[in-house]
Amino acid sequence: MSAESTTPRTVHVALNERSYDIIIQPNIIAEAGRVLAATVHSRRCLVVTDRNVGPKYGPRLAKSLQMAGFDGSLAELPPGEAAKSLKVAEILYDRCLGAGLDRGSCLIALGGGVIGDLTGFVAATYYRGIVFVQVPTTLLAMVDAAIGGKTGVDLPTAKNAVGAFHQPRAVLIDPLTLATLPDRELKAGLAEVIKYGVLDDAELFAFIEQHSQQLLAKDTAALAHVIERCAAIKARIVSQDEREQGGGPRALLNLGHTFGHAIEAATGYQGYSHGEAVAIGMCMAVALSVELQWLAPADRDRVVALIAHVGLPTKLKPTDPDTNTLYAASLKDKKVAAGSLRFVVAEGIGKTKVVTDVPEAVVKKVWDSGRE
Ligand code: ADP
Ligand code: ZN
Band the pLDDT of 341: cuts 50, 70, 90: confident
Q: Does residue 84 carry a catalytic annotation?
A: no
Tell me the percentage of the chain whose pLDDT exceeds 90.
91
Please compute the mean of the pLDDT values over residues 53-68 and round it to a whole number.
97
Closest C-alpha residue for ligand 1 atom 26: 181
- Of the candidates 17, 87, 128, 334, the residue annotated as catalytic is 128
Q: Which one is the CATH code of 183-217+244-369: 3.30.230.70, 3.90.226.10, 2.40.30.10, 1.20.1090.10?
A: 1.20.1090.10
Q: Would you say residue 4 has pLDDT above 60? A: no
Residue 342: pLDDT band (50, 70, 90) is confident
Which stretch of DSSP H or E encloses residue 215?
helix 212-216
Which is the catalytic residue, given 192, 242, 264, 291?
Answer: 192
- Would you kindly state where each structural domain of the chain is located, as residue ranges? 3-180, 183-217+244-369
Q: Is 274 a catalytic residue?
A: yes
| pLDDT exceeds 60 at position 254 | yes
Sign of CA dihedral 64, 69, 73, 79: negative
Q: Confirm or reject CATH 3.40.50.1970 for domain 3-180, answering yes or no.
A: yes
Which whole-number Å values give the CA distances from 77 to 54, 58, 82, 181, in the listed order? 9, 12, 10, 18
Give the per-residue pLDDT at 2: 55
- 360 in catalytic set: no
List the residue whose alpha carbon is closest to atom 27 of ligand 1: 181
Determine the average pLDDT of the residues in 272-291: 98
Q: Which ligand does the CA of 254 lie closest to?
A: 2
Mean pLDDT over residues 287-297, rounded? 97
Does residue 43 carry a catalytic annotation?
A: no
Q: Concatenate the DSSP letters of all residues of 35-94 into one string.
A: HHHTT----EEEEEEETTHHHHHHHHHHHHHHHTT-EEEEEEEPSSGGGSBHHHHHHHHH
> Residue 269 and residue 265: Cα distance in Å, rounded?
6
Residue nearest to atom 4 of ligand 1 (CA): 113
* Best residue for ligand 1 mutational test, from 137, 140, 153, 193 (most atoms within 8 Å of Cβ): 137
Of the listed 244, 264, 276, 291, which one is catalytic?
A: 244
Looking at the DSSP assignment, which residues form a beta bridge with residue 11? 22
CA of 181 to the centre of ligand 1 (A): 7
- Which pLDDT band holds residue 207 (cuts at 50, 70, 90)? very high
pLDDT exceeds 80 at position 39? yes
CA distance 222 to 359: 41
